[in-house]
Structure 1
Amino acid sequence: MRLDGVLRSKHVVLAAALAFPAGIALAAPPASSDVEGGWPAWRGPSRTGSAPAGNPPIEWSETKNVRWKKAVPGLGLSSPIVWGDRLYLTTAVPTGEKVANPRSAGRRDGIPPDQVLSYEVHALNRADGSTEWKRTVRTEAPHGSTHPDGTWASGSPVTDGEVLIAFFGSQGLYAFDLDGTELWRRDFGDMRTRLGFGEGSSPALHGDRVYVIWDHEDESFMVALDKNTGEEIWRRDRDEMTAWTTPLVVEHGGRTQVITSATNRVRAYDADTGEPIWQATGMTLNAIPSPVYSDGVVYLTSGFRGSKLLAVRLDGAEADVTGTEQVVWSVDRDTPYVPSPLLHEGVIYFTKSNNGILSAFDAGTGEALYANQRLGAVRNVYASPVGVGDRVYFASRDGEFLVAKAGPTFEVLAENELDDRFDASPAIVGDEIYLRGRRNLYCIATP
């Protein structure tokens, strides 16, 4: 049955009524240590964009509710993460050393590198933004191009309070302790991305393992590594083209699975062995948004040259679930291209492509609560929305922000502006919001 772009299976009534028994389905990310840690991955402790608690400001400007503002060297679209009293981020800093004979960009290609970069991991003090430590992991020219809006440090770090994992794609995967001691490093070779648009997938960390997607125009694969040693545990080949999504680790029915979103197929792997569990029809071309999960259902989206959202119930999912009762509802219009969706207090929020046009759906039933709601001055969006309590936060590439009331009706609470451009996604920890701009990192908090 179809209604306003929503495709519902005949089992949607059952999905709406499901009350999952305790222990049958549990999202792996929101472990107690993650919640205590603050914002350990770029989509937060639950990997949904939702903060477990807090009361950050709804109003700010360059002169209001800015606790501190710190210039960030180089360029990076990676989102900041937080554990304890430190904030961690990655960046690629131009050294001034020119690349010999740089190639010219084609009409539709990415931007080729013209100088050597210093690939860096920074740890900052949350109280004042001061640098506690900095590590340069590699100094070299990038092997390939990046998107005109991209950078060579677009994958976000992740931590569990024991190790910090930083991923620079073709420039390597690195593990540190939280005081900056390097534990190990891995080099997977060089990616060849579609149209030279660069790299941007972030790693996932769960238990004692790190999970990395390596989807590009050559031989793609998924790999699981020991977080303490970097030793490869399993690897699975993937028939995929370039994607920029982050894997999602979910515990369900006593089994941990790694869920991946990509153009050819959506896939779930056994986290221990890498064996396939289930799969479904793929997303659109240029898959970028990362999946989110709650209450036994995983939500997958993409929105380039088409629109797609699938809500897949994990209970009973095996083999190919395309067209089965496992796909409890779906959407075929107005889904996001770059931003990932926000799943907050039973509602899934997403923008139309990269535009400031918002839709909100009941996550359980697939009912459209509202659609095509314009977000005021927030018009061009790469950053993913975040939520806490009764509010949802949106950032634009042009430095405009909108805070809306969470829930079934749209209501603007505040509109704000900062003197920077914002492509990285916000992080919320308690009463603070961290916003990474192209030039500066802001801590937004009341005095």
Structure 2
Amino acid sequence: KILWQKSLHKDHPHEAGHYTASLASNSPVTDGERIVASFGSRGVYCLDLEGKLLWKKDLGEMHSKHGHGEGSSPVLHGDVVVINWDHEEQSFIVALDKRTGQQKWRVARPEDTSWATPIVVEHKGRAQIVVSGTNRIRSYDPATGGVNWECGGLSSNIVASPVSADGIVFAGSSYDTRNLLAIRLDGAKGDITGTDQVLWSRRRGCPYVPSPLLYDGFLYTLQHYQGVIFRIDSKNGEEQGGPFRLAAVTEVYSSPVGAAGRIYVTSRAGITQVLSNDAEGKSLATNRLDDSISASAAIAGSELYLRGEKHLYCIAEK
């Protein structure tokens, strides 16, 4: 049942987009009191849970590489919403007051187009905003925008977001450079490229479009965006079982998710293959929806939400 819906902006696109994308590829974010939705060049909008517009912010026009469109989603931390704006002109990362939309800080980035969404990492009582970009990954102070640390080794055309747990950040790419890095946060400061802050790296099973899944101590990565999944021990970067060829799944843009001891991988064709979370990677189920799906699944309690091109789906036990 639709409780409310609201049209926020009407416009003509200023540039082309990828044939699989839309003008609303970015995912919204909520703190339970307000919803922040970024439509990139069409603006950032904040609404309350009743659909009332609280504020809007125009960040200008984004000019993406190859006209592939926009996709980085906003993230919330404390009183700020952070948006990464990597494109073919002056790139930047910006923090807005989540209550008013006023700019708190804005920092230029020496980047061209990327589509990765930043993540918030809490480590030893301190938060940092970590975002992958062209050739390197950086950590920012959410209060000031200052760079905490940065590390080279990634490629161009960054789509996959990093993941983190237990004081380690994992980031990878496979467009023109294949690399998957494990970065120790303790002691990370300044440029840590090539130092022992990088616990391990590998050039096999590196992500491109889908972000890695870090689940129960293992990284699950899709090869490029094909139906081949790797299971990597997050402690040492070694494969533990696999790689597994997914018989039912081929082209994959959405990131895998894990729940209840299972791994869920959804393809652009609307097929979800369910795997066991172990070294055997058994196929437990194959589920089909009559829709095309590029967005990653969201899990809330015992419910799985999938956003297709035609419908929003909620999957749960009866």
The answer to whether the superposition gives a TM-score over 0.5 is yes
Displacement of 1:333: 2.2
Paired residues of 1:173 and 1:186 also in contact (CA < 8 A): yes
2:164 is the counterpart of 1:293: yes
Match of 2:181 in 1: 310
Q: What aligned pairs does 1:404-415 form with structure 2 within 5 A after superposition?
A: 404-415=275-286
Give the letter aligned to residue 175 of structure 2.
Answer: F
Give the letter aligned to residue 38 of structure 2.
Answer: F
Give the letter aligned to residue 12 of structure 2.
Answer: A
Displacement of 1:282: 4.5
2:87 is the counterpart of 1:220: no
Displacement of 1:315: 0.5
Match of 2:299 in 1: 428
Paired residues of 1:262 and 1:282 also in contact (CA < 8 A): no
Match of 1:246 in 2: 117
2:103 is the counterpart of 1:232: yes
Match of 2:24 in 1: 153
Instruction: State how far apart, in whole Å, the 2-side matches of 1:191 and 1:252 are.
Output: 32
Match of 1:60 in 2: none
Instruction: State how far apart, in whole Å, the 1-side matches of 2:43 and 2:278 are.
Output: 41
Larger Rg: 1
Match of 2:261 in 1: 390
Displacement of 1:330: 1.2
What TM-score do the two structures reach when normalised by structure 1? Answer: 0.69
Paired residues of 1:306 and 1:333 also in contact (CA < 8 A): no
* Structure 1: runs of 5 or more not aligned: 1-129
Paired residues of 1:347 and 1:361 also in contact (CA < 8 A): yes
Q: Aligned match of 1:174 in 45, 59, 77? A: 45
Paired residues of 1:256 and 1:272 also in contact (CA < 8 A): no
Displacement of 1:286: 0.8
Instruction: State how far apart, in whole Å, the 1-side matches of 2:117 and 2:317 are.
Output: 33
The runs of at least 4 consecutive aligned structure 1 residues that moved more than 6 Å come to none
Q: Aligned match of 1:370 in 241, 247, 267? A: 241
What TM-score do the two structures reach when normalised by structure 2? Answer: 0.97
Give the letter aligned to residue 377 of structure 1.
Answer: A
Paired residues of 1:158 and 1:166 also in contact (CA < 8 A): yes
SS of alignment partner, residue 181 of structure 2: strand
Q: Aligned match of 2:69 in 195, 198, 204? A: 198
Q: Deviations over 1:341-382 (max 9, x none)?
A: 111111110100010101011112222113431011101111
Displacement of 1:150: 1.2
Instruction: State how far apart, in whole Å, the 1-side matches of 2:135 and 2:287 are.
Output: 39
Paired residues of 2:136 and 2:155 also in contact (CA < 8 A): no
Q: Deviations over 1:302-343 (max 9, x none)?
A: 221232211101000001111111111112123222111111
Q: What aligned pairs does 1:115-154 form with structure 2 within 5 A after superposition?
A: 130-154=1-25
Instruction: State how far apart, in whole Å, the 2-side matches of 1:384 and 1:250 are.
Output: 19
Instruction: State how far apart, in whole Å, the 2-side matches of 1:157 and 1:187 are.
Output: 16
Displacement of 1:216: 0.3
Q: Aligned match of 1:403 in 261, 268, 274? A: 274
SS of alignment partner, residue 140 of structure 1: coil
Instruction: State how far apart, in whole Å, the 2-side matches of 1:387 and 1:338 are.
Output: 18
* Structure 2: runs of 5 or more not aligned: none
Instruction: State how far apart, in whole Å, the 2-side matches of 1:135 and 1:170 are.
Output: 18
Instruction: State how far apart, in whole Å, the 1-side matches of 2:135 and 2:289 are.
Output: 39
Instruction: State how far apart, in whole Å, the 1-side matches of 2:88 and 2:172 are.
Output: 21
Q: Percent identity?
A: 48
Instruction: State how far apart, in whole Å, the 2-side matches of 1:361 and 1:193 are.
Output: 32
SS of alignment partner, residue 348 of structure 1: strand
Match of 1:274 in 2: 145
2:72 is the counterpart of 1:183: no
Q: Deviations over 1:189-225 (max 9, x none)?
A: 1011101110000011011110010100000001111
Displacement of 1:240: 0.1
Q: Deviations over 1:254-299 (max 9, x none)?
A: 3221111011321111111111110010421210001111000011
Paired residues of 1:255 and 1:270 also in contact (CA < 8 A): no
Match of 2:134 in 1: 263
Q: What aligned pairs does 1:319-358 form with structure 2 within 5 A after superposition?
A: 319-358=190-229
Instruction: State how far apart, in whole Å, the 1-side matches of 2:6 and 2:266 are.
Output: 29
Give the letter aligned to residue 338 of structure 1.
Answer: V
SS of alignment partner, residue 414 of structure 1: strand
RMSD: 1.2
Higher relative contact order (CA 8 A, sep 6+): 1
Instruction: State how far apart, in whole Å, the 1-side matches of 2:16 and 2:125 are.
Output: 43
Instruction: State how far apart, in whole Å, the 1-side matches of 2:226 and 2:122 are.
Output: 33
Match of 2:154 in 1: 283
Paired residues of 2:270 and 2:291 also in contact (CA < 8 A): yes
Give the letter aligned to residue 233 of structure 1.
Answer: K
